[in-house]
Chain A
Amino acid sequence: STTTHNNDLTKTLNNQQQQQHQPSMFFNQETLQQRLQTLIEGARESWTYAIFWQSSVDMSGVTILGWGDGYYKGEEDKLKRKTTPSSAIEQEHRKKVLRELNSLISGVPASSSDDQVDEEVTDTEWFFLVSMTQSFVNGGGLPGHAFYSSVPIWLPGNDRILSSPCDRAKQAQLFGLQTMVCIPLANGVVELGSTEVIFHSLDLMNKVRVLFNFSS
């Protein structure tokens, strides 16, 4: 189903959310990236990625959580992973999309012999890429749920992730993520994911709140 949903990832990245209003921002893309990187690289735990979902209001007054920025670190040790390798067809699809995205960014026509694309596109890389096309309306999805309830969500381990009613959590589990965290803030949500089981950390929660206190 992921293949079907993401057949046109390139177009989606170009066109999605064109009608969305931006809230007044106290940050820019560069500082956001630095904050995400600081959070992940400075953490004691091994996080695979961090995403900032930014809240905004569309023309009809609906609150939307959309992609703000993300930092992908990757897995510490891919050999420890116990997920089933994706099929050859799925890998071909991912590589094709990656070539198109490379072409979109570089402006150079896609080539079937692109070295960096020949490397397997891992499940967590793909999950991170697909996340760029997603948004959550009116409390939908794991980030939306955290934002609307103003309560952090911490799902350590497969059982906890699978017990979530949110599709994003189930999708994450399918792609090998074993911990998902969503921390709501005034103007968005910080989401963290890991292929390892990581239990609740007050230190991390505080770090997020300090790092993403944009008005300071």
Chain B
Amino acid sequence: PAAVPQARKASLARFLEKRKERVMHA
């Protein structure tokens, strides 16, 4: 059961990291 929140956190971390890159290159 703990795998689900962990999957979401992994997705969220990836999203935030890519957003950071987008903002830096904007």
- B20 and A68 form a contact (CB under 8 A): no
Would you give the shortest CB distance from B4 to chain A, in whole angstroms? Answer: 5
Which residues from B are CB-within-8-Å of A63?
A: none
Whole-angstrom distance between the alpha carbons of A129 and B14 in the complex?
A: 12
The size of the chain B interface, using a CB distance under 8 A, is 22
- B15 and A128 form a contact (CB under 8 A): yes
Would you give the shortest CB distance from B22 to chain A, in whole angstroms? Answer: 7
Which residues from B are CB-within-8-Å of A29?
A: 7, 10
- A70 and B26 form a contact (CB under 8 A): no
Does residue A19 face the partner (Cβ distance < 8 Å to B)? yes
The answer, among A15, A20, A69, A105, for a CB contact under 8 Å with B16, is A105
Which A positions have Cβ atoms within 8 angstroms of B?
13-22, 29, 33, 66-70, 72, 74, 98, 101-102, 104-105, 115-116, 119, 125, 128-129, 132
Chosen A-B contacts, 7 in total, with CB atoms closer than 8 Å, are A14-B5, A20-B4, A68-B7, A70-B15, A102-B16, A104-B12, A105-B16
